[in-house]
Amino acid sequence: RTIGDRIGEAKASGNLGNTLKILGQFDEAVVCCQRHLDISQEQGDKVGEARALYNIGNVYHAKGKHLSWNMAQDPGYLSQEVKETLQKASEYYERNLSLVKELGDRAAQGRAYGNLGNTQYLLGNFSEAIAFHKERLSIAKEFGDKAAERRAYSNLGNAHIFLGRFDISAEYYKKTLQLSRQLKDQAVEAQACYSLGNTYTLLQDYERAIEYHLKHLVIAQELGDR
């Protein structure tokens, strides 16, 4: 501010916002991120504007998750406050998405799609969530981003469960499992086995369910995860 560096001030405000978000001070975080947005728009800095929109989305997303954890409910069964907070997150992600499309930033589009999928999932809009996660998946594949691909499969599996499409969920969870092994991520591998166990229980294929729950058990023991 002293040297009149507006772009610098915008970035510093954004960083403050992100830090306050991590500290759980969501309302203060929004004020700082909004300042980042306002200055970026005033300066015609499209990249800064996109980043600010994404960050505000993240603050509302984190706030919505934080509020819903205190209530421990299934996706879709939310208080009015949580719903409104997640809808705000979604709106900012949508604005971010249209801007990064304009800028031709595919990686940023991938992130926006993933987060839109997650917010729609929490809101109980499972079909919308699936559409967004499919977009996320194709961009992850485009970039050879295995970790993002793995997350997309997992999220697609979760959303299909709530639509009662257990067989499709099982296919997505198997892909999750395959990739977690490729990535040598045992905790995620265990989680995928657990999801597959539950899905096969829903499909009433109990032999297979037992098989996957045993795999989950073995990894949990290996990791010493009580």
- Taking the C-alpha atoms of residue 5 and residue 7, their distance in angstroms, rounded to an integer, is 6
The residues, any chain, with a CB within 8 Å of residue 21's CB and separated by 6 or more, are: 29, 55, 58, 59, 62
Indicate if the pLDDT at residue 11 is higher than 90: yes
Which CATH superfamily hosts domain 1-144? Tetratricopeptide repeat domain (1.25.40.10)
Q: What is the mean pLDDT of residues 92-105?
A: 98
- With residue 39 as reference, give the H or E element that holds it: helix 26-42
Query: What are the pLDDT digits (tens) for 122-180?
Result: 999 999 999 999 999 999 999 999 999 999 999 999 999 999 999 999 999 999 999 99
Closest CA to 158 of 188, 122, 189: 122
Q: Give the pLDDT score at 72.
A: 62
Count the Cβ atoms, other than its own, within 10 Å of residue 38.
14
Residue range 146-225, CATH number: 1.25.40.10
- Examine domains 1-144 and 146-225 and report if their fold is the same: yes
Domain ranges of the chain: 1-144, 146-225
pTM for this one?
A: 0.92
Indicate if the pLDDT at residue 76 is higher than 80: no
**Confidence grade of residue 73 (pLDDT, cut at 50, 70, 90):** low
Q: What dihedral angle (degrees, nearest 10) is formed by the CA atoms of 93, 99, 102, 107? A: -50
Query: What are the pLDDT digits (tens) for 82-98?
Result: 999 999 999 999 999 99
